[in-house]
Amino acid sequence: MDISELQNTLLNIYHKNIEYLKLNNTFIYNKIKTFESRNIENWYIDFIDNRFELSNIDGTKVYNCNPFFDANYRANNINNNPSFTLINSLGYHKGVSKYEDSINAYEFINEFIQSPNDYQPSNLKQKFIFIGTLLGVHINDIHRIKNAKAYLIIEPNIEIFRLSLFLCDYTEVSASSKIFFCIDFDDFEFNTTIKEFLDYKYEYNHIIPFELASNNEAYLIEKLNIQLLDNSEMIYPFSEYIISLKRGYRYFTESKNKILDISPNKKYLQNLPILFLGAGPSLPPNLEWIYMNQDNFFIIAASATLKRLEVLGIIPDIILIVDGAKERMLAQFEVSSKMFINSIVLASINIDYDLFKILDSNKLFFIQNSLELFNGYGISTGLTVGDSGLDLILRFGAKEVYMLGIDASLRSDGKTHDGLHTNSKNLDITKNTANKGIDYDSHIIWVKGNSVDKVPTTMLYYGMIEHIEAILSKSESHVYNLSNGAFFRGSISCKIDDKRFDSISSINKNDLSFDILNSFKQNSKNTLSKQDISELTKEKKVLKKLESLNNKDFYKEFTKIKSNFRNSICIQIINKYLKVITPYAEYFDNTHILAKQIKLIIKELDLIISYLLSTKS
């Protein structure tokens, strides 16, 4: 092939790819066209000694081997590639669940792992990730061997990606597989694309091999690992939704306490200076300042702060409880009853019954979390009391919020919380786990600090930071960060010795608490409306439809029902179940267990809803 024929071949491949992107991914297509309009050239394709090379404008040969030989080598050794492991093939230890009275997601997973099976995982249908493209020749070769269900192609340099359009025929890959492109991305694009990749055919989210183009892209491995773990369905699995439904309906029917309307744009806290306290490491050193200024703020505190606040007798005006665990939460209330008996308590619908008996008063209100028992009453979302609490405070109309003890990071010695927190522990912040996979509870990530350059944090807190920043991006309120922990984009860094606090005067908290309590009472419910009964009756019909589905085609038939009942609580919970469990069913090739577990969930949901209807009929 002479040079002119070669050029025509490359141009033909390029135009095929461009047309494909124009029709299927206008976002990436527009990125490429915008880049081309700038006439920038830092990289180019050389054809030397009958081979293509990727070179930098400064003359550096970045990819100076024969790309076809290299592609063939990569393809022939593809079975030796490293992988991202999204499932726990070793199982969970007994007692890992914090609930005794509900279906357990961990036990459901263990059932697959412990079942005898001769299935060979090498036969798995898979997804695949390309980290970096270089000239892209290897992408076609690997696809012909793997023929994965979906590919994620990540390339931080749009110019290099554009050059790959001349040598990689992406249309060949797309003919039998779904391609997700993440090109020249910011954090939001990166995170969004990862989520889309995982949501597509989620039954294949088990073992995902990846191909690293070169060491230049190696830093993306940890970034990817973090996002894959951050999107794990086991952070808040389907069983959490079932317990919320079960306990929420129980409290609704058996107690005088009401479910509070927390839909956006409420004005419960309008024009009040709010001091929002969490049990992070920044709380103890600032306790005296809180004591001296307690009359200047309306104090909203996580229940985990009560033991520390009791030291100086600082009683919160509102206490937040979002955790449904039993022993840990009971331990937080091992304080004098005067620390909470006169405070308004906002508790998640999934709190333990023994804790409910301690708190039962006309100042206790339930908040819907993760799912709506009743439409229009809003749901609180979040990983921790820090992000879910801030979300509530801003929904309630607060325009001036001061956060203290909401660190979302570790102390310099690795301590996770205030020392009096029942869940406090020390982590080794010097430990490097980058090459050993990422453990959700102990992996250390360094993020921007609020008062120092960088602070160590964990996967849990990393997700909390992301959620807080998402909340702040939609708010016009002034949120001040007084903690020594992580910085939150959208907040205002501040110290307790700031002059602004000199001008803050005391507020009449007794009158304010009385007004807020009455406002909460007027905007809450503990009886079923006709619409509620209609919705619950519809849920019963949905469950009957699900119960009648053929086990072999359950997933396919469920998808059809889901499209017709998108707002159904039962559909949402079973969809969550499938996202957790189908990767295990696929990996261990066991649909029998899947069918049995689905029947258990349907039965449990039917009992919960039937109970509620019977008490309110």
Q: What b/e readout covers 265-274, taking b as 16+ CB neighbours within 10 angstroms?
A: ebebbeebbb
Residue 206 identity (one-letter amino acid):
H
- Domain's final residue, options 525, 559, 584: 525
Assess whether 537 and 511 both reside in one domain.
no
Asked whether residue 104 is domain-assigned, the answer is no
418: left (phi over 0), alpha (psi -120 to 50) or beta: beta
Assess whether 428 and 549 both reside in one domain.
no
Asked whether residue 91 is domain-assigned, the answer is no
Per DSSP, the residues of 80-135 read G--EEE-S-TT---TT-SS-SSS--HHHHHHHHHHS-----GGG---EEEEE--TT
Residue 242 identity (one-letter amino acid):
I
Assess whether 70 and 211 both reside in one domain.
yes
pTM above 0.75, yes or no: yes
Residues 369, 374, 377, 379, Cα dihedral to 10°? 20
Assess whether 463 and 567 both reside in one domain.
no
- Domain's final residue, options 492, 525, 558: 525
Per DSSP, the residues of 42-92 read SEEEEEETTEEEEEETTS-EEE-S-HHHHHHHHHHTGGG--EEE-S-TT--
Where in the sequence is the domain holding 538, given as residue range(s)?
Answer: 529-616
Q: Which of 25, 28, 447, 526 is nearest to 250 (CA)?
A: 526
Calculate Rg over the CA atoms of the chain. Answer: 27
- Give the pLDDT confidence score for residue 385 in this predicted structure: 94
- What is the Cα–Cα distance from 255 to 266, expressed in whole angstroms? 25
Assess whether 511 and 612 both reside in one domain.
no
Asked whether residue 191 is domain-assigned, the answer is yes
Angle made by CA atoms 329, 606, 601, in degrees to the nearest 5: 65
Give, as one character, the DSSP assignment of residue 498: -
Q: Please check whether residue 107 is in contact with residue 234, taking contact to mean a CB–CB distance below 8 angstroms.
A: no
- What is the Cα–Cα distance from 440 to 76, expressed in whole angstroms? 34
Helix boundaries (H) for 286-326? 287-293, 306-310
Asked whether residue 37 is domain-assigned, the answer is yes
Q: Which of 366, 314, 315, 345 is nearest to 526 (CA)?
A: 366
Assess whether 609 and 588 both reside in one domain.
yes
pLDDT digits (tens, 9 = 90+) for 274-305: 999 999 999 999 999 999 999 999 999 999 99
Asked whether residue 97 is domain-assigned, the answer is no
- Give the pLDDT confidence score for residue 121 in this predicted structure: 61
193: exposed, middle or buried (C-beta count within 10 Å: 0-12, 13-18, 19+)? buried
Assess whether 502 and 540 both reside in one domain.
no
Low-confidence residues in the chain, pLDDT < 70: 1, 94-99, 101, 117-122, 413-442, 616-617
Angstrom CA distances, 264 to 27, 159, 195, stand at 31, 43, 26
- Give the pLDDT confidence score for residue 436 in this predicted structure: 45
Cα 435 → chain centroid: 23
In the numeric block, the tokens 């001091």 are attached to: 275
Instruction: Say how many domains are in the chain.
Output: 3
Q: Please check whether residue 100 is in contact with residue 326, taking contact to mean a CB–CB distance below 8 angstroms.
A: yes
Q: What b/e readout covers 552-563, taking b as 16+ CB neighbours within 10 angstroms?
A: eebbebbeebbe
Assess whether 510 and 533 both reside in one domain.
no
Asked whether residue 101 is domain-assigned, the answer is no
Contacts of 134 (CB under 8 A, 6+ apart): 54, 63, 67, 160, 164, 213, 214
Q: Which helix (H) or strand (E) holds 609?
A: helix 591-616
- Give the pLDDT confidence score for residue 399 in this predicted structure: 95
Q: Which of 103, 101, 99 is nearest to 604 (CA)?
A: 103
- Give the pLDDT confidence score for residue 434 in this predicted structure: 45
Assess whether 271 and 138 both reside in one domain.
no
490: left (phi over 0), alpha (psi -120 to 50) or beta: left
CA dihedral sign of residues 201, 204, 207, 211? negative
Classified as helix, coil or strand, 367 is strand
Q: Please check whether residue 401 is in contact with residue 485, taking contact to mean a CB–CB distance below 8 angstroms.
A: no
Regarding beta strands 478-481 and 83-85, do their DSSP bridges make them parallel or antiparallel, or are they unpaired?
Answer: unpaired
Adjacent-strand bridge partners of 479? 401
Assess whether 328 and 463 both reside in one domain.
yes
Q: Please check whether residue 210 is in contact with residue 129, taking contact to mean a CB–CB distance below 8 angstroms.
A: yes
Regarding beta strands 298-302 and 150-155, do their DSSP bridges make them parallel or antiparallel, or are they unpaired?
Answer: unpaired
- What is the Cα–Cα distance from 104 to 96, expressed in whole angstroms? 9
Per DSSP, the residues of 152-200 read EEEES-HHHHHHHTTT--HHHHHTTSEEEEEES--HHHHHHHHHHHHHT
What backbone phi and psi angles, to 5 degrees, belong to 576? -65, -40
Asked whether residue 119 is domain-assigned, the answer is no
Asked whether residue 360 is domain-assigned, the answer is yes
- Domain's final residue, options 213, 230, 247: 230
Assess whether 262 and 391 both reside in one domain.
yes
Q: Please check whether residue 260 is in contact with residue 366, taking contact to mean a CB–CB distance below 8 angstroms.
A: yes
- What is the Cα–Cα distance from 178 to 124, expressed in whole angstroms? 17
Assess whether 389 and 446 both reside in one domain.
yes
What backbone phi and psi angles, to 5 degrees, belong to 554? -60, -50
